[in-house]
C-alpha cells in the first residue's frame, strides 16, 4: 500500500520496541532524543537505530537528533496503528481470559471486540461489554465485527480448525499462542508465540554456560 515494502523485516520487528521507548521518553517530558539514547533504552546500538530509521525516511535533524512526537507519529503510521485495529480472541480459557483482562493492548493500538470458546458453559456468558460466542459463529461474527486480527488461545488439538474458520472469514493476520505450526494461505500473516519454545532456548544458554543473546 505504502512504499514501506522496502523496509527490511528485521527493522520492522524492532519498531515496536522503539515505539515503546519513545512513548516513555514522551512521558518523561523529553522533547528530543538521539540515536544513542534510544539505543540505550532499547538495548541496541546507535548505528542500528539510525539505519532502521533511515529506511522510513529522513526523520531526524543532523546535529540535533529526533523529535519524539514526530517519530512516534511516523512509526505508528508505518505500523498501521494510527487508529485502533479490531481484534478477537478465540479460546476463552485461563490464558484467553488473562489476555482479555490485559489493558496493554488498548494502549498499544488494539481493541478486543469479540470472544469465542467451544465450551457450552461459557458461550453466552459476558466479559466486560462482550458476550462469548460459539465456534460455529466465528466466521459470521468476525465478518460482522470487521475483525482484522485474531488471537488464537485454543488447545493445540483444535487450533488448526479454528485457524481455518478465521481464514474463511477473510482475516489476514493471526497471532497463534498454541504450540502447533499452522498452515494457512500465504497471504495470511501468522506469528507464533510459544513460551515453552522461549524457555527451551533459554535452557540452551544455560547448557552452554555463557549467555549473550539477540
In 3D, which of 88, 110, 102 has the Cα closest to residue 162?
88
Residue 177: phi, psi to the nearest 5? -100, -5
Give the x-and-dash track for 10-49 against DNA (CB under 7 A). Answer: xx---------------------xxxx-------xxxxx-
Residue 168 interacting partner from DNA, its own copies, none (CB closer than 5 to 8 Å by kind): none
DSSP codes, 102-164? -THHHHTTEEEEEEE-S-TTTTT-EETTEEEEPGGGHHHHHHHHT--EEEE---HHHHHHHHH
| The one segment of 60-68, 89-97, 125-133, 182-190 that binds DNA by CB under 7 A | 60-68
Residue 143 interacting partner from its own copies, DNA, none (CB closer than 5 to 8 Å by kind): none
- What is the residue whose three cell numbers read 472469514? 169
Residue 76 in the binding site for DNA (CB under 7 A) = no
Distance CA 45, CA 54 (A): 15
Three-state DSSP state, 207: helix
Residue 179 in the binding site for DNA (CB under 7 A) = no
Residue 140: phi, psi to the nearest 5? -65, -40
Provide, rounded to whole angstroms, the least separation between the CB of residue 2 and DNA: 17
Please tell me the count of residues contacting DNA according to CB under 7 A.
Answer: 26
Residue 66 in the binding site for DNA (CB under 7 A) = yes
Residue 192 interacting partner from its own copies, DNA, none (CB closer than 5 to 8 Å by kind): its own copies
Residue 127 interacting partner from DNA, its own copies, none (CB closer than 5 to 8 Å by kind): none
Residue 80 interacting partner from its own copies, DNA, none (CB closer than 5 to 8 Å by kind): its own copies
Distance CA 30, CA 125 (A): 45
**Residues lying near DNA in the complex (CB under 7 A):** 8-11, 33-36, 44-48, 50-51, 53-54, 58-66
Amino acid at each position: 500500500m505504502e512504499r514501506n515494502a522496502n523496509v527490511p523485516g528485521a527493522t520492522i520487528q524492532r519498531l515496536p520496541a522503539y515505539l515503546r521507548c519513545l512513548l516513555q521518553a514522551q512521558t518523561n517530558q523529553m522533547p528530543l532524543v538521539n540515536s544513542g539514547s534510544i539505543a540505550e533504552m532499547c538495548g541496541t546500538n546507535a548505528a542500528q537505530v539510525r539505519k532502521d530509521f533511515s529506511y522510513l525516511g529522513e526523520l531526524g535533524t543532523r546535529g540535533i537528533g529526533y523529535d519524539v512526537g514526530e517519530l512516534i507519529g511516523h512509526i505508528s503510521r508505518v505500523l498501521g496503528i494510527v487508529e485502533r485495529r479490531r481484534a478477537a480472541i478465540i479460546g476463552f480459557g485461563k490464558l484467553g481470559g488473562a489476555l482479555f483482562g490485559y489493558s496493554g493492548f488498548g494502549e498499544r493500538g488494539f481493541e478486543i471486540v469479540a470472544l469465542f470458546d467451544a465450551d457450552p458453559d461459557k458461550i453466552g456468558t459476558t466479559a466486560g461489554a462482550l458476550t462469548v460466542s460459539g465456534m460455529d459463529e466465528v466466521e459470521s461474527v468476525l465478518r460482522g465485527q470487521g475483525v482484522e486480527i485474531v488471537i488464537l488461545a485454543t488447545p493445540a488439538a483444535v487450533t488448526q480448525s479454528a485457524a481455518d474458520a478465521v481464514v474463511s472469514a477473510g482475516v489476514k493476520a493471526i497471532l497463534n499462542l498454541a504450540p502447533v505450526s499452522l498452515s494457512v494461505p500465504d497471504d495470511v500473516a501468522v506469528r507464533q508465540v510459544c513460551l515453552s519454545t522461549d524457555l527451551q532456548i533459554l535452557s540452551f544458554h544455560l547448557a552452554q554456560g555463557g549467555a549473550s543473546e539477540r
